[in-house]
A and B are shown apart, each in its own frame.
Chain A
Amino acid sequence: MDFGRPQQGDRVRLRMRNLYILPTRFGWLWLAGTVLMQVIGVQMQSNGTLLLSFLMLSLFLLTLHLTHFNLQGVELGCGAPAPGFAGDPVAYPIQMHCPGRSEGVRLRLGGEAAGPPLSLPAGEHEFGVAWRPPGRGWHKPGLLRVQTTAPLGLFCCWSRWYPGAAQLIYPARRAGPVRLLAGANPPLAGEPAVASPQEGSEDWRDLAPHRPQDSPSRLAWKLLAQGRGEYAKRFLDQPETAPLLAPEPGLPLEVALEHLSERIWSYHGHGLSYGLVLPSHSVEAGRGVVHRDQCLAALACCR
């Protein structure tokens, strides 16, 4: 069942005016079964069969209301959507406030398949409903269909709503060439222009007496074995020069952005510093989650 006027806005309260209910195909079959039972009961003058036929009719009447009550008074809202990548299913946060118990609720966004039925006790609930965004940029997920056929599957009660909050979608991650502007090595914020060695984990340069808080992996086992005492190795890192990433020339912009997206993701995974230079926008070198998201957002909104 998928028709009816969709609701707009950040929050929507489901009520008589925006809930639709119709018998399912199984519901019509059930009615046919009821008629069959009535015919057999009348023909055989059997009280048991007649009562069953009336019971089935009564269940039909009852579930009409029970199905409707599953969604009646439910409030739908959207949470703050976390950004996601194009090309992958993205979770869109839907908040539900149920005044009573809601059974068999299924949520469906856009053209996706409906999720599994959820039985929700009264109270606040939040779900991530998966959808597949069409491309990068700010997108609204389209039509949300909320429906239930519980308890007996005789009726389908549904409503349609366009959630208001847009979700930021980064370009899809695709491995490929990226232009590295290595010449312009801007210093990291707050550091001298020439990178000086700093304590790190790359090369070990020195030994110092071992302190209890030092990691056992830094213990100079060889010296210990030779009976020369407990020493800890001291390591030094040479800071890399942070590269500036830019779209590969000669490639369509969208493809180049997808390469950049993948590169940023992998640099972040390796804990490297990087900057970003785009035609309309540039981000200085840095690292960390905030920096990564800033760069990816710049990619998503690049024109």
Chain B
Amino acid sequence: MSRAAAPLQWLTMGLLAVGLLGLSPTLSLSLLAFGLAVLTALKLREARSLEERRVVALLQLVGAGLLAALRPELGPSLLQGLAILMALAGLLALELGAGPDWKALLRRSLQVLVAALPIALVLFLLLPRLMPFSNFGAGQGMGAMTGLSDSMEPGSIARLAVSREAAARVAFPLGGAPPALEQRYWRVLVHERFDGRRWRSAAPRLPRPPAGQPTPPPPPPATPGEGIQLWLIEPSGLSAVPWSGAGRPLSADLTLQRSGELQNRAPGSQRRVYALTQAADQGDWRTEPPRPIDLVLPRGENPRLEALATTWGRLGSNRERLDAAGSWFRGQPFRYTLEPGALPRQAPLDHFLFETRLGFCGHYASAFTTLMRAAGVPARVVSGYRGGQWVQPVGGSGYVDLRQADAHAWSEVWLEGEGWQRVDPTAWADGDSLARTLAAGADRAGIPPWDWLQQQWWGLDIAWARWWLGYDSEQQQALVRRLLGDHRHLLGLVVLLAVALSLAASLGGLGWLGRRRSGDPLRLELERTLRAFARQGMAPQAGETLPVFAQRLAQRWPGLAGPLDDFVGHYQRQRFASTPSRMGRRQARRLGRVLRRSLRTGNRSKEAVQREHP
């Protein structure tokens, strides 16, 4: 057992502990991972024999695998990879006796890991995927914070803090571009329930499917003409996820509600990655007729608001009522602010509409939706994100970066013959942030270096999500189709052959590494050169010094005298130098190469001469 074994194994424990830090303790699998890590550390502490230490290494690998399931993102994956490398190095240190040092152990474990990787990749890429056995653990609650919440009560908020925390990123891998900035509305929650003060989501929480129930069939893959939106969302406490409102989900975990919410019921990864088609057609949630709840309004709470709406209610169609409300809003001195002050408990919306006229998106959406309902137009509040910055990382595909500060609320009203239409009353107010952004130009110039670095990292993250996390059973089937075409029945044979070939290649590679001569580079260079001469039948005789042998060579190949002199002189100087330098070794390699090349070309020209003058 090498002395490096214990430090290596403790180092692995440290890496796993760092990996555990980001886990939410509310997930049962996280608890399992925590428990496993603690048990492994205890086992490592008391382990004395070789067998016990081996078991520790295996437990560490299992721990890393569990972490990989819980934290599949790029950063944690790198950490897990490092932990796996260290665990293997620890295992190697147990077997290789007292000799090897850290560096040798790490090099050897890297060799073994790289040798094992081709076989693993063949199996990973080609072996058909199994579907999950049951939905155990699905739809677990996610702890975290977000700019969005299930309920919305703008009147109680005196001051809204702006958080620049990341919320989501959306990329368009198959080309395509995001919608224009003023059209970028990413819907998350639909609030239909209103009690006069607070808006709540009406969509029932997704029931957890009972265990054993067959999972819904995966949706058909995107057709070639359709674009794809790839979403990466940060943890939020919500089961609804953002989307653009058009297209359809490409994952069986996502279901589209009739209100237009996209509900997620995947088992609990903390961050979610999902793909949607980017169809131009309007989803059928827009034509879903309104329900009675879309007109519910506690009467008598805001008398002035109701009086105003009643005048619009006399107009013939919903469209006319909407236009009347729009022109009324634009005619009033509404101003957008993040510090509107709290609204009174009595007639809060009257106070907002007719007195303060100060508010943020929640106020506008809430007041406008209430007005519409009072005027007899089915309406609801939708919350989600608006805008988002288009980021083009160096050497990658671009993405839209959504921050919590981009959280927004707007209204949807039902218009006969048109379906649900988005209306953003905040845009009518003076000082709306989006309007300011549009006026200032789409891209925010002068990004601080830290933000720039973060954007580049997120670009990598998106690529990782696209190529690595996005490789699912459909991608796998597509790959097999592409590789084998109609001969899919040969898949088993192909996998076996590929595994055998990779195994042979890995063993060959490791054997080559093992045979590779190590030692004094100067000496190796000399031996290489001497072998080249030996092939021509010239070998040093017993007791012959290098300069004398060089003279003999120069007599046979007079053209080589120059390179020979250079090489031998340099070799002698380096050999007997007090401190041989790295530069000197490099120079010896270069001179040796020149000499051998001259020997080859000299021979070729001599043969040519002989052919011409036999």
Contacts and interface: CB of A to CB of B under 8 A. Distances in A.
Interface of A: 25-26, 29-30, 33, 36-37, 39-59, 61-63, 65-66, 69, 100-101, 103-104, 116-119, 149-153
Contact of A43 (B88, B124, B136): B136
B91 interface: yes
Interface residues of B, number: 62
B576 interface: no
Interface stretch (B125-133, B145-153, B165-173, B479-487): B125-133
Q: Kindly name the residue among B64, B65, B137 whose own CB sees the greatest number of chain A CB atoms within 10 A.
A: B65
A44 B506 CA distance: 30
8 contacts: A25-B51, A44-B70, A44-B132, A58-B119, A65-B503, A69-B511, A104-B96, A119-B96
Contact of A48 (B51, B69, B136, B507): B69
Given A58-B120, A117-B95, 15 more contacts: A30-B58, A40-B65, A41-B69, A48-B72, A52-B65, A55-B117, A55-B120, A57-B120, A61-B503, A62-B503, A65-B507, A104-B95, A104-B96, A151-B95, A152-B95
Interface in B77-135: 77, 80, 84, 88, 91-92, 94-100, 108, 112-113, 115-121, 123-124, 127, 129-133
A49 B66 CA distance: 7
B452 interface: no
What's the dominant secondary structure at chain A's contact region?
Answer: helix
Nearest to A152: B91
A27 to B, nearest CB: 10
Given A47-B469, A150-B95, A151-B112, A42 B130 contact: yes
Nearest to B518: A121
B292 interface: no
A263 B25 CA distance: 76
A62 B92 contact: no
Contact of A42 (B55, B64, B84, B129): B129
From B29, B62, B471, residue with most partner A Cβ within 10 Å: B62
B61 interface: yes
B413 to A, nearest CB: 39
B556 to A, nearest CB: 34
Given A118-B97, A152-B91, A49 B120 contact: no
Closest 3 CB pairs of A and B: A48-B68, A58-B119, A46-B69
B96 A117 contact: yes
A118 B58 CA distance: 24
B123 A54 contact: yes
B65 A103 contact: no
B468 interface: yes
A33 B61 contact: yes
B514 interface: yes
B451 to A, nearest CB: 28
Given A43-B133, A57-B120, A117-B96, A26 B54 contact: yes
A58 to B, nearest CB: 4
Given A26-B55, A48-B80, A55-B116, A150 B96 contact: yes
B120 A51 contact: yes
* B61, B70, B84: most-surrounded residue (chain A CB, <10 A): B61
Contacts of B108: 151
B510 interface: yes
B444 interface: no
A94 B72 CA distance: 52
B267 interface: yes
B595 to A, nearest CB: 29
